[in-house]
Amino acid sequence: MPRLDDVARAAGVSKATASRALSGADGVSPATRTKVQRVADELGFRASGAARRLATGLTRTIGVLTPSVDRWYFGSVLHGIAHAADLHEHDVLLYDLGAFGHGGHEKFERFMRRGEVDGLVTITWSLVGGDLTRLAELGIPVATVGEPTPHTRSFCLDDDAAGAQATEHLVQLGHTDLLHIASQTEVQPFDASSSDRRKRAFEAVSAEHGLRMRPVRTVPTTLEGAHAVALHFLDRPDRPTGIVAGTDEVALGVMLAAHQLGIRVPEELSVVGVDDVPSAAPFGLTTIRQDPAQHGEDVVAWIMGAMRSRGRRGGDASQPDRSHTGYAPELVVRASTAPPRP
């Protein structure tokens, strides 16, 4: 593996000049730059990342802390992050924390001990407020996607609007007897999780329109979990005419249970979800769309900007940016919702 020194020697310049020529720094004559670059290519030179890190203090890496990678939302955010990081020539270091309390916290501590990154994004649900505070004190840009938080910059769907929009869609269709099925949050990070905010929006709209107030059901946050529970509480004559599910997975599980119980959707039961996962369309699920991959791209763009401004002002100059971006929900009407039957 050739070193910078080899390139410099072969090009007949000093290490300093070779370094500048290769890094694109200015103050190098065009001729010299071209020559150094050619020699570097010929030799197959690849600068040592470790040496560069040590010299510059920059890792060119952004860290991701997530509770899961094998679920649609998290995978999509991660995809967006990876894509955007690549555009900025940054690597992504993945910390898959797993469920909180199931080894997640030890993994978090390990990150604190040895994770070396220039910027960090945490995908919600794995962290509590105290953790986020510690991260925010790391001296690097930190952002959260999936939940608004007072401790860091944050990005996510406007859950209040999403919950309201889903509920209002059914009210508009004429429903007066609705049930909200919330998906379980494994950890309660801040004052209100996404799930909580969607629930409250449902309740507010229900109250506003004077709907029958049924107690909210909370189910596991997977299709199979929601399905198992729905099989029980749907199988009774006094069931509602419409269901607002906290997520598409839950909605799909409910639809499947309804189908298996011989309850026709939407004739006898309307169902609306939140997410617009890829399988929502073939199942004809009416839902509220969000685009997590876009959120992932946006969070990286913000981190890159924040890194630049910190660099410029030499550190802890101004207050860190802890603003929140809420994405507007978009109702997608399909075949799972209709007016209630008289």
Partner DNA sequence: CTGAAAGCGCTTACAG
Q: Does 116 bind a copy of itself (CB under 8 A)?
A: yes
Using the rule CB under 7 A, give the single segment among 23-31, 67-75, 166-174, 228-236 that binds DNA: 23-31
Q: Tell me how far, at minimum, the Cβ of 85 lies from DNA, in Å.
A: 19
Q: Please select the residue that binds a copy of itself; options are 26, 89, 238, 316, rule is CB under 8 A.
A: 89
**Is residue 86 within the footprint of a copy of itself (CB under 8 A)?**
yes
Could you tell which of a copy of itself, DNA, none binds residue 25, using a CB distance below 5 to 8 A set by kind? Answer: DNA
Angle between helix axes 30-43 and 4-11 (nearest 10 degrees) is 120
Q: Percentages helix, strand, coil for the chain, rounded to the nearest 5?
A: 45, 15, 40
Residue 204-233 contact track with a copy of itself, rule CB under 8 A, x = bound? ------------------xxx--xx-----
Q: Give, in order, the Cα–Cα distances in Å from 174 to each of 4, 39, 168.
A: 73, 74, 10
| Window 117 to 176, contacts with a copy of itself (CB under 8 A) | none
Asked if 217 and 180 count as a contact pair (C-beta separation under 8 A), the reply is yes
Sheet holding 330-332, edge to edge: 217-219, 178-183, 242-245, 270-275, 286-289, 330-332
Burial code (b: 16+ CB inside 10 Å, e: under 16) for 19-49 equals bbbbeeeeebeeebbebbbebbeeeebeeee
Nearer to DNA, 116 or 267 (CB): 116
Residues 19-48 as x/- pattern, contact with a copy of itself by CB under 8 A:
---------------------------x-x
Among residues 20 and 199, whose Cβ is nearest to DNA? 20
For strands 178-183 and 142-145, give the pairing: unpaired
Partner from DNA, a copy of itself, none contacting 3, C-beta within 5 to 8 A by type? DNA
Rounded CA-CA distance 119/90 in Å is: 10
| Structural tokens at position 102 | 């199931």
Six token digits for residue 287: 């839902």
| The pair of three-digit structure tokens given for residue 338, joined into one six-digit string | 């209709």
Binding DNA (rule: CB under 7 A), the pick from 9, 15, 134, 209 is 15
Taking CB under 7 A as the criterion, the residue among 9, 37, 47, 75 binding DNA is 47
Each residue 238-277 as x (binds a copy of itself by CB under 8 A) or -, in order, gives --------------xx--x---------------------
- Is 53 a binding residue for a copy of itself by CB under 8 A? The answer is yes
Q: How many CB atoms lie within 10 A of CB 93?
A: 17
Q: What is the rounded CA–CA span in Å between residue 273 and residue 289? A: 9
Residue ranges in contact with a copy of itself by CB under 8 A? 46, 48-51, 53-54, 59-61, 64, 68-72, 75-76, 78-79, 82-83, 86, 89, 91-96, 98, 107, 110, 113-116, 222-224, 227-228, 252-253, 256, 278-279, 281-283, 293
Residue ranges in contact with DNA by CB under 7 A? 1, 3-5, 12-17, 19-20, 22-23, 25-29, 31-32, 45, 47-48, 50-52, 54-57
